[in-house]
Amino acid sequence: MATLCKPDVSVPEHVITMEDTLALARSLHADHPQLPLALRLIENTGVAKRHLVRPIEETLRHPGFEDRNRTYEAEAKARVPAVVNRALDHAELRASDIDLIIYVSCTGFMMPSLTAWLINTMDFPSHTRQLPIAQLGCAAGGAAVNRAHDFCQAYPDANVLIVACEFCSLCYQPTDLGVGSLLSNGLFGDAVAAAVVRGKGGTGIALERNGSHLVPDTTDWIAYSVRATGFHFLLDKRVPGTMEPLAPALRAMAVQHGWDAAALDFYIIHAGGPRILDDLSHFLEVPPEAFRFSRATLTEYGNIASAVVLDAVRRLFDEGGVEDGATGIIAGFGPGITAEMALGRWSTDSLAGPALSARHVLTTPAHAGRESATEPVS
């Protein structure tokens, strides 16, 4: 049975606090007619701090889409390898054991995908399959877990590496002054995450069922407007209300599996914002504490897009996991409006031998000051 092993997560070294964000909003948009509303919405996110790949002074400047995308590629190549190495270590595998790399990101563009660079640079086999996912936004973390599960069902001895690389700050657009854009400027953060789904063995979440649900006629609620200046994020004020139609979809998938979505042992939910978590808690009839991993991600890192679900899983591991056989759900939400959902049980039935070192592959000394979720610098 395919098992999602412990993820590794790293956030950049440049930090912006809630207080910094509010001060910048007041300074940059002092004459904005809806500034008080924007400030109130930012305060209500509960985001204490976020991490950025560039200092805030550079982030606020827009050097052009070409320069932004060049930065995205350079930062991805500098930061991803070390996170991949640690994820392989957690899964007790080497690069040579990986059969498929799924790369998810919605904040930059590369062709060939970073998957090709990883295969060439980190000694993954040349026959390693590649699956880049670029247009599912925040739902892509859940989608990556589900596609890894599907692959391991088709090839039971296979292992899949998932990489989520999101530099949301590189999508900052100084000319976008709608309330939704101002809110996004105070909500999103940058992060890199990686995890392995093992076809056999491993400790973690043994995946049993997955599904997807799209809320009809909501395709323009979360979207990009692609212009000469890059990706302009569009966020409709109706998005927080989508948990009412999505909660029944989670319930229905659980019922199909013979489970009660309101009575599971752990919940890994995309932390789009506090309203999302509060509403889902209400409509699923589970206590707010059930979403503590997602809330912690939101507070400490902000909304890190597709990396959220992997960070929430990492926090479940760091808490000590749960009892063998404990049931849980993973759910990511994003453009569409799309939900990517999975059900699984905690499993410690590892078939792996002694931990193997993945350190024989390339490590990148750049950005040694970054903060890793497994090796914090502060």
Active site residues: 138
DSSP labels, 16-59: EEHHHHHHHHHHHTTT-TTHHHHHHHHHHT---EEEESS-HHHH
Position of tokens 């390339």?
362
- Structure tokens, 100: 């498929």
- Torsion on CA atoms 322, 259, 195, 295, rounded to nearest 10: -70
| Cα–Cα distance, 178 to 181 (Å, whole number) | 5
Report whether 227 contacts 216 (CB < 8 A).
Answer: no
Report whether 60 contacts 172 (CB < 8 A).
Answer: yes
* Alpha carbon of residue 232 to chain centroid: 20
Report whether 313 contacts 3 (CB < 8 A).
Answer: no
- Reported as type and span, the H/E element at residue 254 is helix 243-256
